Amino acid sequence: MKKTSTRLADGRELVYYDSRDDVVRDAVDRRPLDPISTTSEIREDVLLGDRVAIASHRQGRTYHPPADECPLCPSGDGRHSEIPDSDYDVVVFENRFPSLAGDSGRCEVVCFTSDHDASFADLTEEQAGLVLEAWTDRTAELAEVPGVEQVFCFENRGAEIGVTLGHPHGQIYGYPFTTPRTALMLRSLEEHAARTGGGNLFDDLVERERADGERVVLATDHWTAFVPYAAHWPYEVHLYPNRRVPDLRGLDEAARTEFPQVYLELLRRFDRIFGEGEPPTPYIAAWHQAPFGDPRRDAFALHLELFTIRRTSGKLKFLAGSESGMSVFINDVPPEAAARRLREVASAS
């Protein structure tokens, strides 16, 4: 992998990640952009202890532009986009409309490919491996940014999820705090250790799912994918490396090599679960990584959660009264049935 860092016209950082070492990236962003000005603010909910990012400047962000005006496509033919070069493998840049900025954290955009009409599932294993290297490198870089406590790499896919740009891309958030969801996991981890005399919750969870097998979707030498016993979403898969590590930087070479094959297969199954002729499955893919300064960090397990809000053909799972009002999910699809369906749509070997 070759990494080339540059600056956009308004001062934001942009990083090219190339699979070939002989690629030269010297294109200059010639757009007449003013320096970025954001109004991001973190406020705390004193009742719940949650933090909320107030970011009014995001109201003006780009919304479903036509393909020939996509800001994530390469520049060319007199049109200047967020990427100055005429082609790229993987690009990461600071978000022009960040939810978090300055003392309130950092937001980055990850473009998986220059092909506007592709999806992550269309990538080759080499391309998917390069995205993994970019995620890992950004985790390492943001770990050194003062004030960043946790790094979250994720992809929102599909208009149903709320995606405003159709180009295949994801995001990376550098939070200045430990997120509420991670804090709950850490608390459960601590309680499990006390209850079992030092057992690790994540290790015991993965071992139990592998031993039972009913909810396992895919198991390899270095990765295990399963539908959780208490899945919140109709189709939800958790992917764990078999050797526990706190974040992406800890993955060994064998797990890195195998990841593209495993992850691409999961994404392709998600596109097949509702049958032929259905539109692409909307999903969220979210990497859970340990906070940097937490004393329980080494006991945390890196994992990816992949889920869709579609519950059946033509129908979405909406977060209504119980889910939105009380955070109590009601799932119409038994996890065992979801796992069985995801095994049925495996790629032909």
The distance between the two most distant Cα atoms of the chain, rounded to a whole number of Å, is 65
Give the pLDDT mean for 263-267.
98
Same structural domain, 8 and 129: yes
Same structural domain, 160 and 39: yes
Determine the Cα–Cα distance for residues 20 and 2; give it in Å rounded to an integer.
Answer: 6
Count of domains for the chain: 2
What's the pLDDT score for residue 217?
98
Query: Where among 175, 191, 211 does a domain terminate?
Result: 175
Closest among 215, 105, 112 to 154, alpha carbons compared:
112
**How many percent of the chain have pLDDT more than 90?**
83
What's the pLDDT score for residue 349?
64
Same structural domain, 159 and 236: no
Give a yes or no: residue 349 inside a domain. no
Domain that holds residue 132: 2-175
Same structural domain, 140 and 59: yes
Same structural domain, 144 and 43: yes
Other C-beta atoms lying within 10 Å of the C-beta of residue 277: 6
Give the pLDDT mean for 148-164.
94
Same structural domain, 167 and 191: no
What's the pLDDT score for residue 21?
95
Query: Where among 130, 149, 175 does a domain terminate?
Result: 175
What's the pLDDT score for residue 64?
61
Q: Is 288 one of the catalytic residues?
A: no
What's the pLDDT score for residue 37?
74
**How many percent of the chain have pLDDT more than 70?**
97
Same structural domain, 190 and 322: yes
What's the pLDDT score for residue 15?
97
Give the pLDDT mean for 243-248.
98
Query: Where among 117, 146, 175 does a domain terminate?
Result: 175
Residues 6+ apart with CB under 8 A from 41: 53, 54, 55, 104
pLDDT level of residue 105 (50, 70, 90 thresholds): very high
pTM of the model: 0.94
What's the pLDDT score for residue 34?
84
What's the mean pLDDT when you consider all of the chain? 94
- The pLDDT tens digits for 323-335 are 999 999 999 999 9
Name the catalytic one among 64, 116, 169, 192: 169
Same structural domain, 261 and 317: yes
Contact 262, 121 (CB under 8 A): no
What's the pLDDT score for residue 61?
57
What's the pLDDT score for residue 171?
97
Same structural domain, 311 and 199: yes
What's the pLDDT score for residue 164?
86
Same structural domain, 105 and 209: no
What's the pLDDT score for residue 97?
87
Give the CATH number, domain containing residue 223: 3.30.428.10
- The pLDDT tens digits for 27-82 are 999 999 888 777 788 999 999 988 999 887 665 556 567 778 899 999 998 889 99
- The pLDDT tens digits for 192-242 are 999 999 999 999 999 999 999 999 999 999 999 999 999 999 999 999 999
Same structural domain, 304 and 167: no
Give a yes or no: residue 232 inside a domain. yes
Give a yes or no: residue 261 inside a domain. yes
What's the pLDDT score for residue 57?
62
Task: Tell me: pLDDT of 183 over 60.
Answer: yes
